[in-house]
Amino acid sequence: MSTFVDTWKQHDFAAVGARIAAATEADVRRALGKQGRGLNLDDLAALLSPAAAPFLEEMAALSHRLTVERFGRTMQLYAPMYLTNVCANICSYCGFSAQNRIPRKALDDAEISAEADALEKFGFDHVLLVTGESSRYGLAYFQNALRLLRPRFSNLSMEVQPLDAEEYAALTADGLSAVLVYQETYDPIAYPKHHLKGPKADMEYRLATPDRLGTAGVKKIGLGALYGLSDWRAESWFVGLHLHYMEKHYWRTRYSIAFPRLRPHEGNEIPVTPFNERDLIQTACAFRLFSQEVELSLSTRESPHFRNNAFKLGFTSMSAGSKTNPGGYASEPESLEQFQISDERSPAEVAAFLKTNGYEAVWKDWDATYDGQQTARSNDVVHA
């Protein structure tokens, strides 16, 4: 079966970077002139280029308008629930990396329920389940977590190790709504430098993971790169290429993109390629102009000041009050985090901020009855 790997191999990462760097003002004006309708990958390259920097205000205004037209003045709020920090991989940039001598933990049923209690109290109905990547905590562990949590939350997403299509299909049948699988980097030279050992070292298996998700009929797939590992402009263009490919091949599925930037973590410091806040805004706006359907996510990795100013410029979901350690909300508040968050405001504070700025915080945007399942909250109002 052909996968995105075949498409990816047709494009040289460095050559893409050079092409973006050479885009002209005329290219940017052509892309902007389309007013967010029918942009192609050349237009995306132009909007990601240095030539687009002077047009950032215009891009931001258009991105805001297109987002309000499609999504209204709403912001989905979600929280990650870290189930385990056990990981078989050595990744240069992560506190959970297998070579780090840290206490390892996997939540048991009681601890998962305690985390659920805490997140319910905050008001969350959308929870992202996160793990390290280890076959010790695979399909059976995830199915058990879904069984425990499905009656309590309407929307359960996962960010775990890449699985086979059959495993994704089984989890979807158990009530899984979405899977986020970030490629980290599309640069074939940078990838092996940062993924030194473990199954994640197989770059092509990871690249083909969204195909397996699409084949399995997962309702929403999250794509993205980890910014700081290679040239951000080329990285973003490859995310766009991936999105374009997925939308063509798996058109029933919804897509989301996030823009995680490297954050301080346990372990050795690594050289980080630049990707500043202005670059992040340019990237998010470029994606909104490229696709009016894609959901864009803004993480607690970013500062409150930045999030307060950026949230209107194309984003549709935000994490809030995040803990990035297993048991972080209830049982193990002091255990090791995967990375340090920057926005430490509570979910209620973030929701209140949105409200004072004319936005509705959406805690629930799906109902289990749509999947033929019943939850304790099935009678709640659905906002979007």
Contact segment (CB under 6 A) with ligand SF4 among 10-18, 74-82, 89-97, 325-333 equals 89-97
Site stretch for ligand SF4 (CB under 6 A), options 40-48, 50-58, 88-96, 202-210: 88-96
Contact between 97 and ligand SF4 per CB under 6 A: yes
In DSSP terms, which residues pair with 195 in a beta bridge?
91
333 exposed, middle or buried (CB, 10 Å; 0-12, 13-18, 19+)? exposed
Report the residue from 28, 79, 87, 119 that binds ligand SF4 according to the rule CB under 6 A. 87
Residue 158: its H or E element: strand 155-159
- In the numeric block, the tokens 């109002």 are attached to 381
User: Could you say whether residue 91 binds ligand SF4 (CB under 6 A)?
Assistant: yes
Q: Which residue in 31, 94, 285, 298 binds ligand SF4 (CB under 6 A)?
A: 94
200 contributes a contact to ligand SF4 by CB under 6 A: yes
Asked if 80 touches ligand SF4 (CB under 6 A), the answer is no
82 contacts ligand SF4 (rule: CB under 6 A): no
Instruction: Rank residues 56 and 201 by Cβ distance to ligand SF4 and give the closer one.
Output: 201
Any contact of residue 302 with ligand SF4 (CB under 6 A)?
Answer: no
Considering only residues 101-160, where is the footprint of ligand SF4 by CB under 6 A?
A: 132-133
CA distance 83 to 116: 11
Name the minimum Å distance from CB 293 to ligand SF4.
28
Q: Kindly indicate which of the ranges 84-92, 211-219, 253-261, 269-277 contains the residues binding ligand SF4, using the contact rule CB under 6 A.
A: 84-92
Helix 232-249 × helix 13-21 angle, to 10°:
110
DSSP letter for 358, please.
T
Residue 68, amino acid: V
Closest to ligand SF4 by CB, 87 or 296: 87
Instruction: Indicate whether 89 belongs to the interface with ligand SF4 (CB under 6 A).
Output: yes
Size of the site for ligand SF4 (CB under 6 A): 9
For position 279 contacting ligand SF4 by CB under 6 A, the verdict is no
Q: Are strands 178-180 and 220-224 parallel, antiparallel or unpaired?
A: parallel
- Nearest alpha-carbon partner for 238 in 192, 283, 293: 283
Sign of the CA dihedral with 75 first, then 41, 250, and 222 last: negative
Query: With binding defined as CB under 6 A, does residue 191 bind ligand SF4?
Result: no
| 91, 144, 258, 371 from 224: Cα distances, Å | 17, 28, 6, 27
Q: CA-to-CA distance for 180 and 246, rounded, in angstroms?
A: 14
What is the binding site for ligand SF4 (CB under 6 A)?
Answer: 87, 89, 91, 94, 96-97, 132-133, 200
